[in-house]
Amino acid sequence: MHASFSRFDDALIERVFQPLADTITKRIGIDRLRVAGCCLDAASVAWIMSQAGALTGAVTQFQPGITLLRIALLLLGLVALTSLRTLFRRVGARNGVNPLRVAMLPHRGIALARLAARLPAATGFDGMADLAMLVFAACALYLGACASRPPVHRNARIPLPLAGEAR
């Protein structure tokens, strides 16, 4: 099972998210980790919106235990998304092998499994907001796993041989 998901994960990275990250970087000028950060911001907003209805209901019905549990759940989700953003910043724009590609494989698997499980049951505003949070979080995980391209040296000059010189 692990090997088949790893092949599927590699295919998603190489055929979907790496070209997407390269296109965004080329056309807009934003690197892959900033785009992943924007996806995490969108996931945070969607998480807040998905929890707002239940939290409001618990507050208006004066259920202090459930209200505290809902607030803790909301904060736990925001802390998880924020810590992922911090991890992306620490990795930075390294050239070469991206350590997040291998290290975040289980996280991407869980995100895709939760997304697939949540897809049929996404009804109403809260369900759609939760689905949006999962989509943005999965996109952030995949964009963070893409390899950064080496910088282009635009001022590098290649000396051309003069007439009569050996090549």
Do 43 and 133 form a contact (C-beta atoms < 8 A)?
Answer: yes
What's the predicted TM-score (pTM) here? Answer: 0.80
Average pLDDT, the chain: 85
| DSSP assignment letter at 31 | -
Confidence band, pLDDT 50/70/90 cuts, at residue 2: confident
- Rounded (10°) CA dihedral 107, 29, 10, 15: 130
The Cα 135–Cα 138 span in angstroms is 5
Beta bridge partners of 148: 95
Residue 139 — φ and ψ, nearest 5°?
-60, -40
DSSP-derived 3-state class of residue 78: helix
pLDDT at 66: 86
Q: pLDDT tens across 19-51, in order? A: 999 999 899 988 888 999 999 999 999 999 999
Do 137 and 43 form a contact (C-beta atoms < 8 A)?
Answer: yes
- Cα torsion angle, 42, 118, 77, 1, sign: negative
